């Protein structure tokens, strides 16, 4: 028994001596190792970081990757220990690597209207890039023909997408006709037959020409024009620089006058000078209380006289160059019988 205890004591003593020697050896080794100040690794490329840590005698440990808009792909996002920390050679440095900004799939914007394409780009976190326009037979007007990046490709969030948008079918060019010395309504019909649009009608003054006559136009006669070319007509009038809405050329004004009540029918005659010479629009008997309804084009300066039983009941003057500020409709002037205007016989036509 004493022998066993003796051997146990010797074993424990030897183990204690060996442990003490090992502890002091490790302590001596660690105290003698070089201490290093860890540099800034954040934002640096992973290849540069690995080379730097290896040259410094440190071990790089990659703990993960993630998307990050602030750092390019393969750049170090974070490090542990932090920059400026003191670390001994042979220690580990933990780093996280950036996968770059997150990418989204470019939606297919082809053949859809430009406004809808803009909504889809914003929804997918992309921005509108350069927008170009061209004519196309296959793509409708104001629809996207193509775009870059291409459909279903990947691109960084927030990047721009360039669009090519259709203007529709390339319009056929025609020769601008000579419409000078034509009345406005006749000139408008000529332009409409060529599928052209009037953009402006402006008044000018030429005392040697009749009112309502085209004095000039832009583009000038003989020019090549298309349906997209803005056309301006200069029309003879009393004042210069007045503007008339082109919409008046395709509209009508309803003039209404009610007959007074009574027993006997009344003779009604309506005359006008809208076509140049004075003509009768209506010359019949009507029942008392009935309405006289007349449709008049607002683009022509017109005087309408209403005679009841050979007596001038009302004169209505339409001036196409005057606009109602509030409603935008032509102002109608209604006057009592004019003293200087002589009623004419039912069948008399004069200039």
pLDDT category of residue 4 using cuts at 50, 70 and 90: low
pLDDT category of residue 296 using cuts at 50, 70 and 90: confident
Of all residues in the chain, the percent with pLDDT exceeding 90 is: 43
Q: Parallel, antiparallel, or unpaired: how do β-strands 160-166 and 144-148 relate?
A: antiparallel
* pLDDT, tens only, 159-218: 999 999 999 988 888 999 999 999 998 999 999 999 899 999 999 999 999 888 999 999
Per the structure block, which two tokens stand in for 62? 């990659």
Distance in angstroms between the alpha carbons of the first and the last residue of the chain: 156
Q: Alpha-carbon dihedral of residues 338, 341, 346, 349, nearest 10 degrees?
A: -140
SS3 (DSSP) at 147? strand
Q: Parallel, antiparallel, or unpaired: how do β-strands 127-134 and 86-88 relate?
A: unpaired
* pLDDT, tens only, 85-135: 888 888 889 999 988 878 889 999 999 999 999 999 999 989 999 999 999
pLDDT category of residue 9 using cuts at 50, 70 and 90: low
Lay out the sheet containing 127-134: strands in order across. Answer: 127-134, 160-166, 144-148
Which domains are delineated in the chain?
A: 32-101 (3.30.10.20), 103-166 (3.30.10.20), 174-249 (3.30.10.20), 251-335 (2.60.40)
**Are the beta carbons of 110 and 138 closer than 8 angstroms?**
no
Q: Tell me the β-bridge partners of 8.
A: none
Find tokens 């009608």 and name the residue.
Answer: 201
**Are the beta carbons of 140 and 176 closer than 8 angstroms?**
no
* pLDDT, tens only, 56-75: 888 888 888 888 878 888 88
Of all residues in the chain, the percent with pLDDT exceeding 70 is: 82
- pTM, full prediction: 0.49
Find the radius of gyration of the CA atoms of the chain: 46
Spell out a b/e string for 4-41, using b for 16 or more CB atoms within 10 Å of the CB, else e: eeeeeeeeeeeeeeeeeeeeeeeeeeeeeeeebebeeb
pLDDT of 343 higher than 50:
no
Query: Residues near 164 by Cβ (< 8 Å), separated by ≥ 6?
Result: 132, 133, 134, 144, 145, 146, 147
d(CA 350, CA 342) in angstroms, rounded, equals: 12
């Amino acid at each position: 028994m004493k022998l066993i205890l003796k051997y146990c004591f010797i074993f424990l003593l030897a183990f204690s001596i060996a442990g003490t020697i090992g502890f002091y050896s490790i302590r001596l080794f660690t105290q003698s190792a070089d201490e290093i100040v860890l540099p800034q690794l954040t934002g640096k490329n992973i290849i540069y970081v690995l080379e730097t840590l290896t040259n410094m005698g440190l071990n790089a440990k990659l703990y993960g990757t993630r998307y990050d808009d602030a750092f390019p792909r393969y750049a170090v996002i974070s490090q542990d220990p932090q920059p400026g920390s003191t670390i001994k050679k042979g220690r580990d440095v933990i780093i996280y690597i950036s996968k770059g900004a997150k990418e989204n799939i470019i939606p297919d914007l082809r053949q859809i209207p430009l406004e809808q394409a803009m909504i889809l780009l914003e929804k997918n976190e992309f921005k509108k890039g350069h927008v170009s326009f061209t004519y196309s037979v296959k793509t409708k007007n104001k629809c996207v023909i193509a775009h870059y990046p291409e459909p279903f490709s990947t691109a960084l969030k927030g990047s721009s997408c360039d669009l090519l948008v259709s203007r529709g079918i390339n319009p056929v060019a025609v020769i601008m006709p000579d419409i000078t010395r034509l009345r406005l309504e006749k000139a408008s019909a000529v332009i409409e037959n060529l599928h052209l649009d009037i953009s402006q009608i402006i008044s000018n003054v030429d005392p040697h020409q009749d009112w309502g006559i085209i004095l000039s136009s832009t583009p000038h006669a003989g020019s090549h024009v298309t349906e997209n070319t803005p056309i301006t007509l200069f029309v003879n009038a009393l004042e210069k620089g007045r503007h008339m809405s082109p919409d008046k050329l395709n509209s009508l004004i309803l003039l209404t006058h009610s007959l007074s009540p009574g027993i006997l029918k009344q003779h009604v005659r309506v005359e006008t000078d809208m076509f140049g010479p004075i003509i009768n629009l209506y010359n019949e008997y009507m029942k008392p209380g009935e309405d006289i309804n007349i449709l008049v084009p607002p683009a022509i300066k017109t005087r309408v006289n209403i005679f009841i039983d050979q007596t001038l009941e009302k004169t209505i003057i339409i001036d196409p160059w005057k606009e109602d500020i509030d409603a935008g409709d032509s102002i109608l002037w209604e006057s009592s019988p004019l003293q200087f205007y002589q009623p004419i016989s039912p069948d008399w036509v004069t200039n």
